[in-house]
Amino acid sequence: MNPVLTFDGVRAFYGQALIVDGLSFEVGEGECFSLLGPNGVGKTTSLNAMFGIAQTRGGSIAIDGHALGGKKAHEAARLGAALVPQGRWIISSLTVEQNLLLGQASERKGPWTLPKVYEMFPDLQDRSASLGTALSGGQQQMLAIGRALMANPRILLLDEPSEGLAPVIIDRLGDSLAKLREEGTSMLLIEQRLDLVMDLADRYAVMAKGEVVSQGRVSDTTNDALRELVSI
């Protein structure tokens, strides 16, 4: 299994505050890997370290073996990391289609185009001329995922994608992510709903106090066992 994303002993800070301490894991080609743990243990900070929002002072982060240097935000996008952030970050002054086109900023070539995104998320095509923030919460999450796909990513980074969504919408979201997984999209999933993790992820790592305390294959565990680990 060739690693698409590698964290090796990463230490990440906000100012002088150490949030992630010696984090190591790999996400393989075509794999969905889930980073789990209670709020505040450093999961989002790990993603932020890839884009320079959190400062790394030790260890390394690499995409397809290419280490991220000083200009992490530019390098991470150029190398193929696309973020679906917690809170979605939809630009309120832009239409749905304009928000989607922002995903092309990295200028990466690949199969994801507007027609293909609209094929996956027909709701977005129906509302393409509407302001992005005029959509429902579920549609905004589709928009955030579609925008990331427009970057033709090597790895899709999903930070709490089910947050704030109704159960029926989470089911639709899960179906869409399952389809991406079946197509071979590599994913790093941060998610509190363990039933979604169980459905989508191949492997998991549980974080506590900024480091991995447990990891394994999802097929070797149960929802209840995973819930007990995450509550550590």
pLDDT in tens, 122-152: 999 999 999 999 999 999 999 999 999 999 9
User: For the segment 196-220, what is each residue's pLDDT rounded down to a tens digit?
Assistant: 999 999 999 999 999 999 999 999 9
**Long-range CB contact pairs, 134-140, < 8 A, 24+:** 135/90, 135/96, 136/169, 137/164, 137/165, 137/166, 137/169, 138/165, 138/166, 138/169, 138/172, 138/173, 140/88, 140/90
Per-residue pLDDT, 231: 82
When pLDDT is cut at 50, 70 and 90, the band that residue 69 belongs to is confident
The amino acid at 114: L
pLDDT, tens digit, 9 for 90 and up, residues 30-67: 999 999 999 999 999 999 999 999 999 999 999 999 99
**Cα angle value 77/82/88 (rounded, 5°):** 125
**pLDDT > 90 in the chain, percent:** 92
Place of tokens 């996400």: 27
Q: What is the mean pLDDT of residues 103-120?
A: 94
- List Cβ neighbours of 7 (8 Å cut-off, separation of 6 or more): 23, 24, 25, 26, 46, 59, 60, 61
* All domains in the chain, ordered by first residue: 1-80+195-232 (3.40.50.300)
Residue 46 CA to residue 56 CA, distance in Å, equals 10
84-108 in b/e burial notation, b at 16+ Cβ within 10 A? bbbebebeeeebbbebbebbeebeb
Structure tokens that stand for 183 in this block: 């197509």
Neighbours of 130 (CB within 10 A): 14
Q: What is the pLDDT of residue 1?
A: 65
Structural tokens at position 43: 């999961």
Least confident among 44-48, 94-98, 103-107, 186-190: 103-107
Residue 71: the pLDDT is 64
120: which DSSP letter? Answer: H
DSSP state of 232: -
Q: Say whether pLDDT at 70 is over 90.
A: no
* Amino acid at site 17: A
What mean pLDDT, rounded, does the chain reach? 94
Contacts of 222 (CB under 8 A, 6+ apart): none
- Residue 2 pLDDT level (bands cut at 50, 70, 90): confident
pLDDT of residue 67: 93
Q: Residue 106 pLDDT > 90, yes or no?
A: no
Task: With cut-offs at 50, 70 and 90, classify the pLDDT of residue 232.
Answer: low
Confidence of residue 73 (pLDDT cuts 50, 70, 90): confident
